[in-house]
Each structure stands twice: as C-alpha cells, then as structure tokens.
Amino acid sequence: MPILVMKFGGTSVADLERIGNAAQKIAREVERGYDVIVIVSAMSGKTNELVNWVETTSPLFDAREYDAVVSSGENVTAGLMALTLQEMNVPARSWQGWQVPLQTSSAHAAARIEAIPRDNLDQKFAEGMRVAVIAGFQGISAEGRITTLGRGGSDTTAVAFAAAFEAERCDIYTDVDGVYTTDPRITEKARKLDRIALEEMLELASLGAKVLQTRSVELAMRHKVKLRVLSSFEDNDETSGTLVCDEEDIMESNVVSGVAYSRDEAKMTLVSVADRPGIAAAIFGPLAEAGVNVDMIVQNISEEGRTDMTFSCPTNQVARAQDAIEKAKESGEINFHGVVADTEVAKVSVVGIGMRSHAGVAAQMFQALRDENINIKVITTSEIKISVLIDRKYMELAVQALHDAFELEKAG
C-alpha cells in the first residue's frame, strides 16, 4: 500500500481532545488506503518545561542527560496517539526513536540522522498494522544513548521517514493553514501561498520563518520529498495548505515570494583592524570555535592599511563573540582599536526564485525602505534573497512596506 507520512506539531496534540482530532484525520487517510507513518511532537509547552527543568537542575548540563529528559515529551504523545487510534479500531503501534531504530550522530541536542532501517516497520505493516506512530525529535547514537535533533526537530524526523519509506507525501499538520507571504501577525495583507519552491522555503526557514525546521527542508530537497504544510484545525482536501515543491512544479509566481524577518540580531564592528592577508581568518576562526553563528559580514575599504570589519550574529551570542575577539587580541592574532556592538537591530529579507531572472529587485527594496525613512545598516544578497539589517524598532514597518511594495497580497 502507498505510504503517507503525517506529522503533528505540539499545538495539534496539546491535549486529549486534539489528539482525538488528529487521530480522526489519520483514520481518514487509512480509509483512503494509505499505510500511515505518524510523527508526533510533544504536547505544546512540554519541551520548554523539560528544558527549563534541566537548566535549573544543572546550568552547565551534560548534554546526554539533557537529551534523556527533553526527548520524553514525545514518548507520551506517541503512546497516547497509538491508544487513541486503537480505540477507533485502527491497528496502530507506537515507536520511540531507539526502537525503530532512528540512528543518529552523537552530537547531543543537535544530532544528525544517519539511517532509518525499514525492517521493523515494514514487518509490522506486512502483518496488518496500518499506522506506525513515531516519537519525533529523537534517535539513538552508536554509543546507544538517546539523542535529540535540535528544537523543532520533529519536522526533520518526518521528512527523514518520508524519504526512507518513499512516502507519497509528507504532510506537516500545524496551527496555521500553510506558508504565508509573511507573518500574518505583522500585516493582515499576508497571503497564504498555494505553492512555494523548496529553495524559497529553505531561505525563508533559515531567515526566521518558523513553520518548518530548516534542516527538514534541506532534507526534503536532497531526497525530493513532496512536503505539504496544513492546519490540523480545519477540514482539508487535496488543495489545502501549501505545497512545498520543486521549482518546476510552480507555473507562475511573483518575483518576490515572501518577506522574512529575524528580530534578535546584533551587529558588531571591529574598528580599525590591520588590513593584511589572513585577517578575516584570524577574526572568524576564533568566533567559529566559540560557537558564534556569524551571518552577514562586511569589510570596508581600507585607509592607510587599516579597515573596519562588521558582522552580525544573534543577540544572545554577543557576549561570547566579544570574549572570543578580546582573547584573540590578547594573544596578538588580531589588532584593532575598538569593538562597537549594536544589539538593537533586526534583519528583514525578501526571497524569491523570480529574482534570478529579474533585475532591479534590490533597487525596489531600497526605495521602499527609503520611502519610510528607514536606514539600512548592512546589506547582503544571494541569488534568490536580499537581506538588510535595520533598527529593530522599524522592523514591523519595514516588513509591511516591503509586502506592499512587491504587492505580495496579489497572487502572481
């Protein structure tokens, strides 16, 4: 029988009633003739609570025990979902990550999936089981310890199962009815997209849109998994939600498909750095070692052999970045006059595969920001996106202005 993967996020399994509601949707797909692999998250708020317990008990926690604790939320929902389905006379069984086994690297709290052997599930499906309920977000390392895949990791579990079992589709059920042109909380003009290209989704996810974990989109691209994002609170049909698909499957679209933002950005500038070969390596090497996620980088023209180097990173990594830079200075690896940190910035980006074939998108973006008197501090571009760093207090305004300027409320 064809296999369908259905993933239910935390709000979709927040209580017994909602688990029941999700189970109805699963039963309907079984009736349609699918064998279903269901991936569940923990009940909403549960993982946060578990993380908090760990951090309160041990601020510099052992990551193996962190994983032992925070993976447990999914165990509860997996068992409850299997029981709910059984009560509805749907043959179902639950599986924790280690039972499958979903094999991962040993990078606790951020493990990568290495393999999903099919034998166990295939055998059960052959024996008449119709639904395998999998606890998302968790796996087992070669050392035999429980691992987790990083926050939001159930999306990645779902896509990995869809790839391993060659599922017809991977449906991601969540509390919104699809992927929007931007966050509907920022502008009511935000429009649900019927389709979005995987590449655009990847950019949007990594630029701050929270619907899907970035790695799940990467994985879907690599394995050509057809993804659909849809609401667990509505009655859906074949056309519901947003299909995240191959570029070729999209007939017509706007030049810009979406506007993303990320609120907690910081901009740091090393003032008057000696401009010589190896200087970027000497700065960004220690930052990488300290685990700072550097995003944008700008180096200015130099005067008299000295230049300014600016980069952005998440606000909560500023202290760590400063520490790494000061240490590099003390050891004589780099030399500069001062560090200026601006922790009041946000990043706003426009994304669209149409940019590849249209000139002038950047100019149009800058014009729209100028019309609102918003000053741009840093700019970066790639083939299908343009990002700017601006004062955080103008972030909402910038998103609205860009949404208007590119007429995203209208379908392309």
Interface ranges with Mg ion (CB under 5 A): 9, 152
HSE-CB of 93 using CA atoms within 13 angstroms: 14
Closer Cβ to Mg ion, 44 or 380, answer by number? 44
Least distance in angstroms from the C-beta of 82 to ligand ASP: 18
Residue 139 is a binding residue for ligand ASP (CB under 6 A): no
Which listed residue (97, 152, 178, 354) binds ligand ASP by CB under 6 A? 152
HSE-CB of 357 using CA atoms within 13 angstroms: 5
Least distance in angstroms from the C-beta of 156 to ligand ASP: 8
Question: What SS3 class is residue 274?
Answer: strand
> How far is 260 from 204, CA to CA, in rounded Å?
6
| Strand 385-391 with 338-351, pairing | antiparallel
Q: Cis (ω within 30 of 0) for the bond into 101?
A: yes
Closer Cβ to Mg ion, 54 or 229, answer by number? 229
The encoded tokens of residue 133 equal 């309920």
Least distance in angstroms from the C-beta of 166 to ligand ASP: 23
| Strand 146-148 with 138-141, pairing | antiparallel
> How far is 52 from 65, CA to CA, in rounded Å?
13
Residue 272 is a binding residue for ligand ASP (CB under 6 A): no
> Which segment (24-32, 88-96, 147-155, 198-206) binds ligand ASP by CB under 6 A?
147-155
> How far is 75 from 138, CA to CA, in rounded Å?
9
Closer Cβ to Mg ion, 73 or 152, answer by number? 152
Closer Cβ to ligand ASP, 155 or 203, answer by number? 155
How far lies 406's CA from each of 7, 21, 256, 297, in Å? 33, 38, 7, 27
151 binds, among Mg ion, ligand ASP, none (CB under 5 to 8 A by kind): ligand ASP
- DSSP letters, 85-146, are HHHTT--EEEE-GGGTT-EE-S-TTS--EEE---HHHHHHHHTT--EEEEETTEEEETTS-E
Using CB under 6 A, which residues numbered 26 to 55 contact ligand ASP? 41-42, 47
Closer Cβ to ligand ASP, 10 or 352, answer by number? 10
Least distance in angstroms from the C-beta of 357 to ligand ASP: 36
Q: Do residues 110 and 45 lie in contact, with contact meaning Cβ atoms separated by under 8 Å?
A: no
Burial of residue 31 (CB within 10 Å: 0-12, 13-18, 19+) is exposed
Residue 175 is a binding residue for ligand ASP (CB under 6 A): no
Least distance in angstroms from the C-beta of 73 to ligand ASP: 6
> How far is 56 from 50, CA to CA, in rounded Å?
10
Closer Cβ to ligand ASP, 136 or 352, answer by number? 136
- Residues 6 or more apart from 135 whose CB is under 8 A from it? 40, 71, 74, 75, 77, 78, 94, 95, 96, 97
Closer Cβ to ligand ASP, 151 or 223, answer by number? 151
Closer Cβ to ligand ASP, 47 or 94, answer by number? 47
Least distance in angstroms from the C-beta of 10 to ligand ASP: 5
Least distance in angstroms from the C-beta of 391 to Mg ion: 29
Residue 153 is a binding residue for ligand ASP (CB under 6 A): yes
Which listed residue (8, 100, 136, 205) binds ligand ASP by CB under 6 A? 136
Which listed residue (73, 139, 241, 258) binds ligand ASP by CB under 6 A? 73
Question: In 155-239, where do the E strands start and end?
Answer: 169-174, 195-197, 227-231
137 binds, among Mg ion, ligand ASP, none (CB under 5 to 8 A by kind): ligand ASP
> Which segment (22-30, 148-156, 303-311, 368-376) binds ligand ASP by CB under 6 A?
148-156
Binding-site ranges for ligand ASP (CB under 6 A): 9-10, 41-42, 47, 73, 136-137, 151-155
